[in-house]
Amino acid sequence: MAQVFGNENDTSGKGRQMPVHFGSPEHHFHTISSPLATQIPQAAGVAYALRRMPNRRSQNIAACYFGEGAASEGDFHAGFMLASTIPSPVLYIARNNGFAISTPSSEQYNGDGIASRGPGYGIDTIRVDGNDVLAVLTAVREARRRCLEQGRAVLVESMSYRVGHHSTSDDSFAYRARSEVEDKKRIDNPITRFRLFMESQGWWDADAETELKARLKADVMKAFKKADSLKRPELGQLFTDVYGGEEPWNIKEQRQELVGLLKKYGQIWEPWRKELGKFRNTGQDLLNPQGR
Amino acid sequence: MNPLKGTYLSRRLSSFYLSVSARHSRCNSTSATPPADGHLPSVASSEILRTKREAGLRTPGIKWADEDSSAPTRIIVGGRETRKMNTYQAIRDAMSIALAKDESTVVFGEDVAFGGVFRCTMGLAEEFGKERVFNTPLTEQGIAGFGIGLALMGHTAIAEIQFADYILPAFDQIVNEAAKIRYRSGGGYNAGGLTIRTPTMSVGHGALYHSQSPEGFFMGASGLKVVIPRSPIQAKGLLLSSIRDPNPVIFMEPKILYRSAVEQVPIDDYELPLGEAEVLIPGSDLTLLTWGTPVYHCETALHLLQSPPPELQPVIPASLRSANIELIDLRSILPWDVKTVAESVSRTGRLVIVHEAGMTAGVGAEISAEIQKRCFLKLNAPVRRVTGWDLPVGLQYEKFNIPDAIRILDAVVETLAY
């Protein structure tokens, strides 16, 4: 939530990235990048490194998620070629939800989805009903097992349907029928299907569902409100993490230039004063680094 | 019509986006209420924009397609009409003319068929058919290469890269292929029929990958032209010139201006010259050179200099407030109009260059070097650059990274007082 709001608690990107661009070295989660498919070849490199680490070899694999749209990028093909030619235990999980923004998958490829490409690269591949939770679990388990056992890439293509809009400002009914979306939501909804399975086993019922929904909603709203009330990170974070090691002169001088400008205009120019107020310590970390 | 609120479609897991239309409205409504953070006030109230028919028709350098270019320039503009358009509508109008007049023209890119994420191709697929206006798979290098192929066959290709931040996978095709094919083939082949349109520059909340200004990366690619319009009239005329120019052109559209800049745009087919800067405000004491979005920040800065609000008065010396600043819109980044800029700086003796991209090896570096060579003895102050810092564009920090009116004002004051 802190990342989504880019607030002072955002440890994954220090308020630098757009929402839903998470990352956490602690959780072995490589920070998300907006450019599509760039991490497909990176995953092959990550997996190759895992193979070369005695304590992780045959224990860990790299998992890389992407959509059917990203699979059209050159990096997809480059990554698959490398992962297969230089054997790397990477599990590629293609989530085929039928749409890349407005473009339907029928305009994304003329072949048989993403799965058909796996064998061409010599990569073991399975396609699974992505709206069947247990089927996905089973397929991914088996894929991971093979990945570890063979030390090579495996591809899972999970077939689903994007019931939501691409983003909060996308109205997808401009390019697809509302009835189509409503049908998918009602009939082929992975959550509904799994709930029905749980109910048939006697593990779940309407009361439990109501309680869970209410509790989760309250939890989310609480976290949402808290995240929304926090300040941005310190303004000085604008300039950090560009380089490791010694900071080049241009970055140093530009920071000093901004400090000079803030001293001159930061309080007298209302748009800047207002903006400074949104940062933790209102820019004092830059203006007055000793006196904090 | 909703104003641009700052929409971005992060292509990956986006959760916010400019409300460019009902489709892209944050609440999916068609409400006409401007958002609290509003337009750039400097764009909404800009005197640079030509909001009257007469002014639109008298745009400097305008060349009507139905007039003999060797004939003397006509003063009479009677019989011609204008229509109120924002920038994306003017761009659509230019493409519509290109499609109507040249059967070989095709328009393509990601999400182009339903109108494009910034609405520039709205209705074109319906009007001209899906064979001529179509979606491509998500592959920028593919889009550029495909366009080069069309151009090599003598066709007119108008390709869209959804954001300039995503043009880099196509860098090889653009720099090694489109730019060099004429030379490589001994003049036998060329990719002149290719125009690549792409939205550029920041809007306030696009973060690392929806805010960049990569024009400088292309500046060393001889064989290529790079154009950045500032307004609807400019966008239409410069885009039609780009489409018809015998060279491949990267046409970068400042995305915050898609909706916020509105002018009376001539409805006829016309062109504006490539490779020529335009003096927007004449002056004699300092040359202020920029392109795209910062044109309006510069205009605001000049207003602040002339009549500073009370809070700024203590830091703006009274003696400098009457300075005459010459504001120039460079328009073409490659080739750039060294004649106009050098002539101006020779008169004013001072140059401030403003761009959103970082300072190091930015377009300003090239211009500074050349101007210092040509105008060395005329300069009264070092050439000054006001640019983004040499940093990625961090989401929450953008207002203190991308140059605004205050930073421009400060540089102008310092350069005048040097």
Read off the pLDDT of residues B200-253 as tens digits, 9 standing for 90 and up: 999 999 999 999 999 999 999 999 999 999 999 999 999 999 999 999 999 999
- Give yes or no: B205 in active site: no
Give the B window 57-116 contacts with A, CB below 8 Å. 110-111, 113-115
Where does residue B207 fall: left (phi above 0), alpha (psi -120 to 50 degrees), or beta otherwise?
A: left
Using the Cβ of B365 and the Cβ atoms of chain A, whether some distance falls under 8 Å is answered with no
**Which position among B140, B253, B278, B326 bears the catalytic label?**
B140
Identify the band that residue B79 occupies on the pLDDT scale cut at 50, 70 and 90. confident
Average pLDDT of the residues in B46-66: 96
Identify the band that residue B39 occupies on the pLDDT scale cut at 50, 70 and 90. very low
Instruction: Say whether A169 and B19 touch across the interface (CB within 8 A).
Output: yes
Cβ atoms B392, B330 nearer than 8 A: no
Q: State the pLDDT at residue A166.
A: 87
Q: Is the pLDDT of residue B68 over 80?
A: no
Instruction: Say whether A251 and B389 touch across the interface (CB within 8 A).
Output: yes
Question: Which pLDDT tens digit goes with each residue over B370-414?
Answer: 999 999 999 999 999 999 999 999 999 999 999 999 999 999 999
Place of tokens 């390019």: A175
Q: Indicate which of A16, A169, A232 best probes the interface with B, i.e. most B CBs within 10 Å of its own CB.
A: A169
Q: Indicate which of B29, B114, B139, B211 best probes the interface with A, i.e. most A CBs within 10 Å of its own CB.
A: B139
Average pLDDT of the residues in A129-150: 97
Give a three-class secondary structure readout of chain A. CHHHHCCCCCCCCCCCCCCCCCCEHHHCECCCCCCCCCHHHHHHHHHHHHHHCCCCCCCCCEEEEEECCHHHCHHHHHHHHHHHHCCCCEEEEEEECCEECCEEHHHCCCCCCCCCHHHHCCCEEEEEECCCHHHHHHHHHHHHHHHHHHCCCEEEEEECCCCCCCCCCCCHHHCCCHHHHHHHHHHCCHHHHHHHHHHHCCCCCHHHHHHHHHHHHHHHHHHHHHHHHCCEEEHHHHCCCCCCCCCCHHHHHHHHHHHHHHHHHCCCCHHHHHHHCCEEHHHHHHHCCCCC
Give the B window 384-403 contacts with A, CB below 8 Å. 389-392, 394-397, 399-401
Instruction: Say whether B394 and A4 touch across the interface (CB within 8 A).
Output: no
Average of per-residue pLDDT values in chain A: 95
Using the Cβ of B169 and the Cβ atoms of chain A, whether some distance falls under 8 Å is answered with yes
Instruction: Judge if ipTM > 0.90.
Output: yes
Place of tokens 């060294």: B338
**Distance between CA atoms of A185 and A187, rounded to whole angstroms?**
6
Query: What is the maximum alpha-carbon separation in chain B?
Result: 64
**Which position among B39, B205, B210, B355 bears the catalytic label?**
B210
* Neighbouring residues of A272: CB distance < 8 A, sequence distance ≥ 6: A262, A265, A266, B399, B406
CA distance A157 to chain B (A): 18
B174 DSSP 8-state letter: I
**Distance between CA atoms of A144 and A163, rounded to whole angstroms?**
28
Q: How many CB atoms lie within 10 A of CB B160?
A: 27
Q: How many CB atoms lie within 10 A of CB B257?
A: 29
Q: State the pLDDT at residue A226.
A: 97
Q: State the pLDDT at residue B3.
A: 36
Q: In what order do the strands lie in the sheet with B384-388?
A: B278-281, B325-329, B286-290, B351-358, B384-388
- Give yes or no: B131 in active site: no
Residues of B in Cβ contact (< 8 Å) with A34: 10-12, 165, 207-210
Q: In degrees rounded to 5, what are phi and psi of residue B39?
A: -70, 165
- The beta-carbon neighbor of A100 closest among B22, B138, B400 is B138
Instruction: Say whether A251 and B15 touch across the interface (CB within 8 A).
Output: no
Instruction: Say whether B139 and A73 touch across the interface (CB within 8 A).
Output: yes
Q: What tokens appear for B417 in the block? A: 């007082």
Residues of B in Cβ contact (< 8 Å) with A15: 394-397
Cβ atoms B241, B273 nearer than 8 A: yes
CA–centroid distance for B128 within its chain: 26
- Report whether the peptide linkage leading into residue B214 is cis, meaning its omega lies within 30 degrees of zero: no
Q: State the pLDDT at residue B41.
A: 55
- The beta-carbon neighbor of A34 closest among B10, B115, B168 is B10
What pTM was estimated for this model as a whole?
Answer: 0.92
